[in-house]
Structure 1
């Protein structure tokens, strides 16, 4: 069974209980996969005609039924050709706007929250400054990539429904070509600090900011579309998915939009191609999950009852009523959902990114050891070249991307970094970037800190207009340049996002190779955190491509 990530831990524990019951005479294996990633994998497998072979699950339970509609659209299949049966939801949680508590108290004091009000705050810095008494920095949104994230997709759908001028409250395919509506949506997107692959990315970064201080938490992000269950996990410190697990200094409040929300309804579908025994087992497991004891497990963990009510203790923790929500946005069909997703390419906030690649001598080492790669063996730099070249296709056509390399002679006064390709639209710079990546050769020491500082400064000063600004640093080692003449403390001061404008330059270091652990990860994590970015380990050849995709999904 393939499950969305927010309920996979619970389902794994419940599946272990189920197989101990008289009905559970078979094995139930739960695989946690983000709903958007699952859609891509399933659509590819089904289009190839592999049905429910070994590479496909027998049951898929994404976060929301919206992904079923997209699967039908992407595969041109429906009914029994796609699903043996779609069973009732097993739990549910609504899309909300998560607000730091002081912001929630201020924003909901006199009137309900709507997308139109959020649009007004995004478009009027003076109004936000007055409302916040200039204490919370610029108004910013934390948004996720709707191609991967359920909250990202459902929030985009609710924006369309709420802000439509031609058909308020509904979503239609012509809306994706409505120029007035598109401009409103672009204004909202421009308030985005950066995109995340999932809402967990944002909540981890918010937890890191909160660990530093309450003030940092309030200035990191003003509002995040997210599922209510995730807000409960964040406030409870139940964050196995990120480093900081303490209860926050500044809790979040889940606010349901007065325009209407979309329920992440955790549907349960048996895919076509499952054997009769597998279908029977799926029905048994589904029925067992619907029993009172198992439902209590879900509701005590922050999900809503199937009747829409919240567990009383959960509601008290969140500071909301336990009564069901009443205003919902109806899901359109797969054709319209696909059109909305395609429109995001034109309304999303573009990025301006520097790829900064370590080409020090150690990059000629083997992937598995600190010795030079043998003839015919792939070196760290070889693998990095392949991954970087492939990753160019992951950028949006409106993104601008450039390439720097760094190494450096410790005894030289020359700059240890150089521009290989100046930033430009990926559509026109793609071939030049690929050529520059292919020409990289290893030499010299690892001038990490001074290069990050220089790249950050250059991107900040050379960028005009509203962009997500980011430096992606790929390195296999700690700073080793001129005896530490430029220290980490100097770097963190130079790149700090504290007190910065809405669009600071964020640093995303990728620690690469066998030394990507311990102190090195801690140092890179600190660098990422102070800039408002994120750090990622890629310890072997198989993960570097996946990590680059995850990093680029921030843009």
Structure 2
């Protein structure tokens, strides 16, 4: 949003497909408010709310906002000044209470809890949390609006480490910079958990994209980087700052518990340097292939339940945050303009110096799919996974996928083989297939046991190669029906019996239909049995993927939720790879949260 008054802002607003994303967001919020504004104006006129004569305390509109901890103090300062100056919305004073709360915590609450929250506005540090909060659409509805600030993601180093890598003259890509840091005996590299930090996730995604451009075995290089970061991982951005060496002294630099480099936002480095002295200040590398931005999207929460005054006041405060006075407050705290531009007054105190390319255009924002894949890779790389993959081999898997000259089974196999590339040699994966009367009276058959992908197999190959060949050999069973319930229970019990401590244990079930075995356990009995045998000390979530339009996501989700897992739907089997990684990431996070 530009820095203009509300009427000027929306005059001449377009709605074509060519509108930039941030402008379209403003249109989205404005559209939701149009009817409320039309009705509210009449009500306000009748009730005298457009008059400026009323006392603020008597007529104030109260809003509550959850804001990312890094930007919360600045937003609170703007809100306090607005209250002091008696800034008004439709004649009523604007009182905004700002509470600092980690973005990932708010996102997880909004995505999983349909209850109306006690706040109307949310200001996370990145769009990615908005996407996570939207989830499957079952949580609290949210409406993202304009960004109010930005800050590039960088790699920060204490001076001695920065000099060892040629700072400020030497410029690196993301892949080159992390590789150089990993090879140097003078640099210990730390990061915030990408599952909880937008900075960590955007940086790791950028490293992956940069590594892919280098060619070769980029997945292995990224996994190695993730492994190294995991060894020196902190819960969040504030915690990762606490791991830095406090000075350039030999004793401090030699302390193995201290990092010399961390993935960090420019604003976090600005705030750190404002309090640090001497060798404790940070120098910033800005990768030459572009730095992604934290973009602080202003987001309405369950807007339909807000009354007209609250809706108008929320929009008024968003406008206020983009006005020059508020932007000056943000700049003094180290934030850049929405478009990513910044002057020396922000860059230099943060640790940026020419010829580091801090003024170049920000990197294109990674896609939701790229972020999801990175999160999945992070989860399985950090914890290592032990998965039993259970694939529907019923006759309906021979159905041709619309728009493709391939069967549902063929596309599924290709997607599974592609997904296999995301796993490390230390991950353990096995394979079952299922269809009615596939193996005598049983609806399921074990094809490949779950062992390490890097372990040797007969014939000089590895388990990974053996499993890929088994995926490729899967075929629909002519006349076979979907024996789902007995298979789910058997696979779950087997995974429990072979549970490996210290790994992410799960059962991934792919099915294109509902249970068709009339002699099997009933759904209610299956759910009851899963509840009975579930063991919090040995969690094994069922990750059930409904493949195709005939599959019932609600059915498999009801069953899987009992185990701490969930149900997912893909219309095109080619999406299976992405959904598997999403399911692993989501269940892995839930498991981690439960253990805390």
* Range of TM-score over shorter length: 0.5 to 0.7
**Residue 123 to residue 335, structure 1, CA distance change in 2 (3 Å):** closer
1:22 maps onto 2:87 in alignment: yes
1:425 maps onto 2:502 in alignment: yes
Task: Map 1:23-422 to 2 at 5 A.
Answer: 23=88, 25-45=93-113, 48=114, 50=115, 53=116, 55-75=117-137, 82-84=141-143, 86-109=144-167, 111-121=170-180, 124=183, 128-129=184-185, 136=186, 139-165=187-213, 180-192=217-229, 193-206=231-244, 214-216=252-254, 220-237=258-275, 246-247=276-277, 249-271=279-301, 272-273=303-304, 274-321=306-353, 325-348=359-382
How far off is 1:185 after superposition? 0.9
Tell me, which stretches of 5 or more residues in structure 1 are unaligned?
Answer: 130-135, 169-178, 238-245, 352-395, 399-422, 436-547
**Residue 152 to residue 181, structure 1, CA distance change in 2 (3 Å):** same
**2:155–2:263: 8 Å Cα contact kept in structure 1?**
yes
**1:64–1:150: 8 Å Cα contact kept in structure 2?**
yes
How far off is 1:101 after superposition? 1.5
Stretch deviating more after TM superposition (308-317 or 219-228): 308-317
What do residues 429-486 of structure 1 show as CA deviations (whole Å, max 9, x unaligned)? x999959xxxxxxxxxxxxxxxxxxxxxxxxxxxxxxxxxxxxxxxxxxxxxxxxxxx
What do residues 121-144 of structure 1 show as CA deviations (whole Å, max 9, x unaligned)? 3664xxx24xxxxxx3xx432122
What do residues 149-168 of structure 1 show as CA deviations (whole Å, max 9, x unaligned)? 111111122112111159x8
How far off is 1:549 after superposition? 6.8
Distance 2:88 2:383 in 1: 51
What's the C-alpha RMSD, in Å, of the aligned pairs? 3.9
**Residue 14 to residue 397, structure 1, CA distance change in 2 (3 Å):** farther
Distance 1:300 1:258 in 2: 26
**2:147–2:297: 8 Å Cα contact kept in structure 1?**
yes
Q: In structure 2, what is the equivalent of residue 8 of structure 1?
A: 72
**Residue 123 to residue 146, structure 1, CA distance change in 2 (3 Å):** closer
Q: In structure 1, what is the equivalent of residue 486 of structure 2?
A: none
**Residue 277 to residue 202, structure 1, CA distance change in 2 (3 Å):** same
Larger RCO, structure (CA 8 Å, separation 6 or more): 1
Distance 2:182 2:246 in 1: 28
Distance 1:71 1:19 in 2: 30
How far off is 1:222 after superposition? 3.4
**1:209–1:217: 8 Å Cα contact kept in structure 2?**
no
- Aligned with 2:299: secondary structure? strand
Q: Larger Rg: 1 or 2?
A: 2
Distance 2:535 2:111 in 1: 33
Q: In structure 1, what is the equivalent of residue 412 of structure 2?
A: none
Distance 1:288 1:344 in 2: 38
What do residues 1-52 of structure 1 show as CA deviations (whole Å, max 9, x unaligned)? 111110111212221211232316143111211111111011112xx3x3xx
**Residue 122 to residue 338, structure 1, CA distance change in 2 (3 Å):** same
**1:234–1:247: 8 Å Cα contact kept in structure 2?**
no
**1:94–1:228: 8 Å Cα contact kept in structure 2?**
yes
Distance 2:172 2:200 in 1: 18
Q: In structure 1, what is the equivalent of residue 519 of structure 2?
A: none
Q: In structure 1, what is the equivalent of residue 584 of structure 2?
A: none
Aligned residues: 335
How far off is 1:97 after superposition? 0.5
Distance 2:126 2:370 in 1: 16
How far off is 1:268 after superposition? 0.6
**2:196–2:235: 8 Å Cα contact kept in structure 1?**
yes
| TM-score in terms of structure 2 length | 0.49
Distance 1:114 1:4 in 2: 28
